[in-house]
Amino acid sequence: MAGRPRQPLEVIKGKGRSNHLTKKAIKERESQEQAIRGYTDNIEPPSYLTKTQKEEFEKIAAELIRLNIFSNLDVDGLARYIDSRDEYIRVQRDLRSMKPTRTVEVELLGKLTKEKFLNENYTKLQRAKNLLFNECKAAASELGLSITSRLKLVIPKVEEKKPETEFDKKFGGV
């Protein structure tokens, strides 16, 4: 399907752009959105997470539930985010303890000289760190963990209704 991603009905209403929807279409969308929202009755950390990862899972899941943007269907996505974030932190620590270059004594024309070479392990870890960062960023965005993704998910407040004018009384919602 080409075009813009479909926005929730409440977002459309909050932006004041629901004029193009009929009452029937609004009711249909409300029922569809309620059906796909998902339940929050079985949210538990997966068994493959470590003890500290499970604690982090509980903390983040509670916040996401409080924001009404998390359901049973999102459990595995949050677990993958936490796991990849932990891996990212481990790789980052390893990189900090490693030097990007290594010095090797080389004999050239009978003289010993010190030459600097690129540390292959450092570059491999750097690539792994970048991959893990991108994985974390994508998962965080999907779950609403970044401010920009939350701004896309948050439902704008509907403005107070103005009193009906004489035109509205006569012609209704035209």
pLDDT at 174: 60
- pLDDT interval class at 153 (50, 70, 90): low
Residue 161 clears pLDDT 70, i.e. is over it: no
List of residues 6+ apart from 27 with CB closer than 8 A: none
Q: Where are the alpha helices (DSSP H) in 22-145?
A: 23-36, 51-66, 75-96, 120-143
pLDDT at 79: 96
pLDDT at 38: 77
Average pLDDT taken over every residue of the chain: 83
Whether residue 141 contacts residue 149, with contact meaning beta carbons closer than 8 Å, is answered with yes
Average pLDDT over residues 15-37: 76
